[in-house]
Structure 1
Amino acid sequence: MGCGGVLWFLLVLATGFGVFAGAVRPAVVSIGAVLTYDSVIGRVAKVAIEAAVADVNANASVLGGTRLNLVMRDANCNVFLGSAAALSVLEHDAIALIGPQSSAIAHMISSISGGLQIPLVSFAATDPTLSSSQFPLFVRMAHCDSYQMAAMADLIEYFGWRQVIAIYVDDDYGRNGIYYLDDELAENMSKMYKIALPVKATRNKIIDLLQKSKTLGPRVYVVHATPDSGLNIFSVAEQLHMMTDEYVWLTTDWLSTVLDTSQSAASNSISYLQGVVSFRQHIPRSNQKEAFVSRWGELQKEGLVSLNLSTYGFFAYDTVWATAYAINDFLNEYENITFSSNSYLQSIKGKMQLGMLKTFDGGNLLIKKLLLLNFTGLSGQIQFDGDKNLISRMYEIVNVRGSVTNRVGYWSNHSGLSISLPENLLIKRPKNLSLNQVLGRITWPGGKTETPRGWVVASNERPLRIAVPNRASYLEFVRVTNGGDMENVSGYCIDVFKEIIKLIPYEVPYKFVPIGNGQTNPNYDELVNMVVQHVVDAAIGDIAIVTSRSRNSDFTQPYICTGLVILAPIRSIKSSAWVFLRPFTVGMWCVTGAFFFVIGVVIWLLEHRVNSDFRGSPTRQCITMCLFSFSTPFQSQQEEILSTLGRFVMMVWLFLLMVITSSYTASLTSFLTVQQLSSPIKGIDSLIASNEPIGYQEGSFARSYLVDGLNVRPSRLVSLGSPEAYKEALERGPKNGGVAAIVDELPYVELFVAKTSGFGIIGQSFTRNGWGFAFPRDSPLAIDMSTAMLKLSENGELQRIHKKWFCNASCIVTSGINSEPSQLHFSSFWGLKVGAGFTGRITSLQSQSDTELIGFFDNLSPLHGLHHRNNPQSPGPRHCLNRFHAILRAARNLPISSRKKTVLFLFSKLAYKGILPLRRRHAILSFPLGRRFQVSNLFCCIKISFQRSDSFGGCFRMLHRRR
């Protein structure tokens, strides 16, 4: 409990010196004690300190024959009087001060004792700031409030409360303790409202503060006060009907101290403390403790003390023993106790006699000895950490139930909340401490054992104000008619909200507050800002959850997934005859064809030396090479691969073909079975690069996203307020004052496309977000509604609401898109069919020509004997030549292709037989066969001359097969 610095001039080094006998221990060493006699803690501590001094002096081994001289003064619970009492003690050459129990007085006395180099050992000052380096000679024998506030934060988190109201005394003790609690709660993402209570607050002041606290919402109260003011708070709370099952009351250890110490105070206040949960500093069981408790009972029987023993009585007793042990260690090393004077204090004239104040020369050494102590006292293990606080920090959690306080658990800095003794957990060290975080049954105000909710959203007197957008378009989501009464607000979002409210396990009175005039859509950023500024308590509707809105407000879980998409005019692409070419680009076709050729060449290089199938004339080898590669996909090649390298190449080639054909088949299937839509806008990038006007819904966040996120010039953006405006702007197009496309959220666009033909969604959503309900920051209702929304989604109710508004018969309207794109039509294949028919016709005509020619030669019986050159029955050469001329004349009636073949084979046969004179060759060469044939016929004749056949027809058949 803090203090001012009005007596700084008393901290200057004092004058004079005193020396206790040179090299021998002094017979008496003075220590001082400053505490408030007329207080709950002070009355117990005074008796405990006196008993400890008596015990130390009775044990000669503690100080080696030196006795303690106790100089005690009353601080009167006042900073100024406490400082004067400390100065009075220091005039008696005290080398250590014990107390005070008030943190505010301790601040002041710490400054005085620090200036005079006198250690100050407090058994009850719990203000965390006293451990700072500002007070180097301050040592605390009790638990610091920073650890008590950590225990309080763990307790609040254990029960899941996210908001609390802290009532504290407005002094150093109250403020600093609550600030530590605020920091601890902030780490757990909890919020705390602070109500400062004047040190000497009147009952009317307390009534006024508690009445105001009711409007804040939370019903979890943390009281960090002095015993007198704390009891007054609970008395007023009962008067204001705030001790019901709707409230939660938590206190720091001041309440347990009052109830443990004063029976009269407990009996007078126990009626309005029912259900309160408090902390008590835990002291482990020991024989020393039990003996002292028994001794205290004897003192009560003798009438020497009227109060019961509290934890601070144990701390006060141990403080004297710790001081004695430190003095003994000091005397063992330093032996002499000396003081120094200061000329400045001696020069101050007046009746204060400041010149009598002296500086202890061994103060720093004494404080070091004190901090090195390690012993077991009544309160447990006495050992200090680097902040001059006790290492072991343990609390009991007690619950006021009936006429007693019941212990429901423990808290320690190494085990957290538990129903097991902290000292046992310290020894066993369980592997998973989180599983050990349990407490016993607690009876809360009102007598219930169920954990209270801890906050109230609204009441019938002040229902929750729910803002709803009064839209001008897309009224399927939110529709407001004739004001904002409950029955006049409807839509998909409203139905979702009402179903969620039904799943919340408590009543939430509310009323709708329409925002907007209904002629234009309201700005949703301004709608969320009204929640942030507490103009309304929440906002529901089609509110997109975006970063800018969630910085200062909380949103529920999204009840529908959405995102920005592009709406643009589209046209259906009809299937063409060349659709089979579309799966691959021109480059892909070229590369694939080149691979066919390259693989054929590679296989020919690897096989033609060892495989007869790849030998023959150059023409034949080229044909074999090409046909082998191109027939591989159909597994129709007749040639066998013999070489190992060739087989390896074929294995790789077949794998590549498998991938290519599979991809081609899949792509072609999609082109044939999925309807293809076309739009000049291909995506958000092409839309931005087009520099054409872009539409957006009025009031939507799409404008800020396009401008701030995608750097689109504001001059390109066109605000549109209704689906009719959408359609008109898209139909007019950018050249006629319209827009090229519209950027809007997916649910709106889906609803528009379902009712309007000729438009579609281009690509996928280029943002990902959802719609939720907005609440103030750290609102518990947002958490409860998110939980209820998940339940709504799991039980299928959310989907049912969606079908109610968007999937009934009235909203399913064809948008001009074929509903059965999987049906295939002749238009997709007529190119392939025509190509196949043309190929069949050409080959059939060729086959018919060859058949006629073969029959023609077979009927030339006069020439049959030409193949037997030595046959005596064969006709003579002249006769054959005459027949040859007859055949040439008959061949003039044949088609040009057959005519060429006829003359070719006649010429080759006669040349082979040697019966064609050179002078007759001009007849062949001058035969009307075409210039190209005249040049090549000689080579053909040479080729055929190496073949033998039985007739002209057989010769032709042989040549036809080789072709």
Structure 2
Amino acid sequence: MKNEKVHAIIGPQRSAQVKFVANLGEKAQVPILSFSATSPFLSPNHNPFFIQTTQDDSGQVKAITALVHAYGWQEIIPIYEDTNYGNGLILYLKDAFQEIDVRFPYRSLIHPSSKDSDILKELKKLKAMQSRIFLVHMTASLGSKLFVLVKNLGMMREGYAWIITQGLSSLLDPIDSKIMDSMQGVLGIRPYLPISKNVEDFERRWTKSFTSSRKANLFGFRAYDTIWALAMAVEKANIKQNSSFLKQNASESKVDLAAIGVSEMGPRLLNTIRSTEFKGLGGYFRLVKGQLEASAFEIFNSAGTYDELLYQIKLKKFDAVIGDTTIVANRSSYVDFTLPYSESGVSMVVSMKDNEKKNMWIFLKPLSWDLWLAIGAVSIFIVINKNGYFVGYHEDSFVRELLIKQLNINESKLKPYRTPEEYHEALSKGSHDGGVAAIFDEIPYIRLFLSKYGSRYAMVGPIYKTDGFGFAFPLKSPLVSYISRAILNVTQDKDKMTTIMRKYFASQTTCVDGSSAEISSYSPSLGVYSFGGLFIIVGVASMCSLLIYVAKFLHFHWPASNIIPTEGSFWLRFIELVKHFDQKDLCSCPFRRNESKLNPTISSSEGFGASPSIESIDDEEKDSRTSSEGADNVAIDENEGVFSPRHGDTSIDVASLL
């Protein structure tokens, strides 16, 4: 404030730090905006230049109370960190729980600097108590350590219930997978975040800009909205860069708080920020008395993959799972599925360059020329596996196990993705530039992806069939038959299914690249023109073979000039060639084998591939073959069972032909 003459400050992140900074802001009349400090003790009513661009923890009390009341729990043990952040919520919860006759038999305080041994000691004390319902209110750094120890101690088994508040729930996405595994089955409270195109675009840009695996979360969205709100307010208030501070002392000390002075434009900027409203990533941005307006909360279960979600039915924590749940054999051992409401299967999507479908040589693209020459034709899956290409799949789906166990793809070459935008980003980059060579997913999801990006990609390769999507219920549940009959009534109604398909798979008229997105008319498969190059190769090869054969035939069978009259010689020669073409070649392989068996004394001097002479006829064959003038040129010897040229009149009646 003193040296840089800032007009506003965004931060700090922690509630414990805000009180000091907020006091400085009030002294210098500089607005202090915090998107992550949620302690109820930091009310802007007590700090007029402090703005909470997030909801304080007291806003979630009603949602937590409603959850506890719905389950009918009477005793809950709160586990919270020993800070202002942790203590602030518990006071509000105590008063709210008293209204629904819920009490705290014990309170567990854990200091942020506690070692694992200290936390483990406290957990063992809790395990010895009768109460099995716990409410955890702490930051992600402390909460992640807690739940790993909780699972190791066996306190995540059936009979225990865990609830986490929004401070930990909103930071689940960046948490390590090992920690996430330890939190399976935990119930959470967090502000409801509506999914919008702006959110999806932001997540895509986030993934592209940052190489780490961290994903954007609610606090990230709130930080983004806070910056936008401040920028809009600065522009609206017409704040100039050279705006000065008043009443500055001459002290050069950087820590002399008395030398800060008072911002000239601070009050105007504060009022402008308070009146700023817009639709942000974290919801609608509107401040009420210096605090973000409360929004709806959602209750979620940290169930992880669909397998883990379905297993909650077996544990009797859920009565059913309704959604796009794939029917596979291993899941049917602990749940009953309804009849499928949608056909499914797993296939592969690969990238195609612009107008590549119109390339008649596209059939050569999957493999390099060296590979074509080395192995001819080979499965594209083997190519991907042997070349070490990266492969994408839908996160938390059974497709991952299919790729590892059935297609033998190395686990280190698999990359999980969640949205069509992430699919597009990964396929556009390619395997050698941080992306993937192909993405495997279930066909309904592939259709959704292709409906948005159209001709840029194609679904190729075999389809690994599954039994489709169904709803899951406990084993022997009577609801399975009722729901299955209802599904049949819908799926067998062609008009209803056509309406559903058009609504969800052909809702977009134009893809992002401008091409048609109608699934019903768009086929990602390759057409006849795509194999035009192959047809050309086959056609040229066939034509060359035919020309070579004709040339050899003319060379061997062109009638000599001494047996054909000069008049009309061309047509006579042509007719003679036709007669030769219609004859059976006794020197070809099948006839030579038969002749060798029937007449082993035949001279080997009869050339391979040449027909017998018109004028020279074997005497031995004359005796064994019947002939009649005017009959066909080929007769069948019933005794020998082979074809032979007609014998008898071996000359050509030229006069009759003329």
Asked whether the two chains share a fold, i.e. TM above 0.5, the reply is: no
The answer to which structure has the higher helix fraction is: 1
Q: TM-score range by the shorter chain?
A: 0.3 to 0.5
Name which one, 1 or 2, has greater alpha-carbon Rg.
1
Scaled by the length of structure 1, what TM-score is found? Answer: 0.31
